Amino acid sequence: MSGRILVVEDEPAVAELIVVNLSHAGFAVSVADGAESAWQLLVARKPDVVLLDWMLPDLSGFQFIRHMRADSRVRDVPVIMVTARHDEVDKVSALEAGADDYVTKPFSPRELVARTKAVLRRRHPQMIDDAIELGGLRLVPMMRKALARGQAINLGPTEFRLLHFLMTHSERVHSRSQLLNQVWGDRSYIEERTVDVHIRRLRSVLEDHSLDRLVQTVRGMGYRFSTRLDN
């Protein structure tokens, strides 16, 4: 498991419990004890998931979510509310405000980790270490292992990340700029044609197993991974 988690919690004991369990699960965890410090971390590092307490000393978690969803820089970051408020009306209000999940205190650490993984799986499936198999290809991210029709194939680190992203978002078309952002990260100095180079390298490896057709060019739009022959 990988991913950056921001924990916004003003109770030190609760924050420590969350951090220990998420760190053990393989997450990189940052902690803020209030809305102001949380916002600075949120904008500077843009985590993959925010675990947010409702009752904060300087701003409610409910208000914090509303600020997030109104800011284009961080509106797409998933949020899990972690709170002692049990009433159904509170859960509904949080979800309607933009929360992706709602966990009440006291909580099971194992359940909280599982819910965090579930949110990541929905929003960022490429970060999940689970093996994925499509169209005769099998990737095992944790072992950086790739197999084509059961035979191991040799992919470079970038080609592996590129194929993993495409497979975890199969049938969707991604532009070159989207692939640069998702696979290479925020590196504006890399030209878009770099994507074409790595796509060619990836196809070259897959061609030896007659699987290069899985990585398809959508003229004028970008690339996609598809097992459909009629595309």
Q: pLDDT tens digits, residue range 113-162?
A: 988 988 887 766 655 667 889 999 999 887 788 999 999 999 988 999 89
Q: What is the mean pLDDT of residues 163-173?
A: 90
Domain encompassing residue 30: 4-127
In a shared domain, residues 116 and 166: no
Pick the last residue of a domain from 127, 156, 175: 127
Alpha-carbon distance 64 to 72, whole Å? 14
In a shared domain, residues 54 and 164: no
In a shared domain, residues 183 and 165: yes
pLDDT score at 141: 81
In a shared domain, residues 148 and 115: no
Which long-range contacts does 96-100 make (Cβ < 8 Å, 24+ apart)?
97/62, 97/65, 97/66, 97/69, 98/65, 98/66, 98/68, 98/69, 99/52, 99/65
The pTM is what? 0.59
In a domain, 231, yes or no: no
The CATH number of the domain holding residue 208 is: 1.10.10.10
In a domain, 70, yes or no: yes
In a shared domain, residues 140 and 91: no
Tens of pLDDT, residue by residue over 41-71, are 999 888 989 999 988 888 888 899 999 999 9
Structural domains of the chain, count: 2
Q: Which residues are CB-contacts of 208 (< 8 A; sequence separation ≥ 6)? A: 148, 153
Q: Are 80 and 49 in contact (CB under 8 A)?
A: yes
Pick the last residue of a domain from 127, 146, 178: 127
In a shared domain, residues 96 and 136: no
In a shared domain, residues 85 and 173: no
Res. 231: pLDDT tops 60 = no
pLDDT score at 186: 53
Pick the last residue of a domain from 127, 152, 187: 127
Q: Are 64 and 56 in contact (CB under 8 A)?
A: yes
In a shared domain, residues 13 and 78: yes
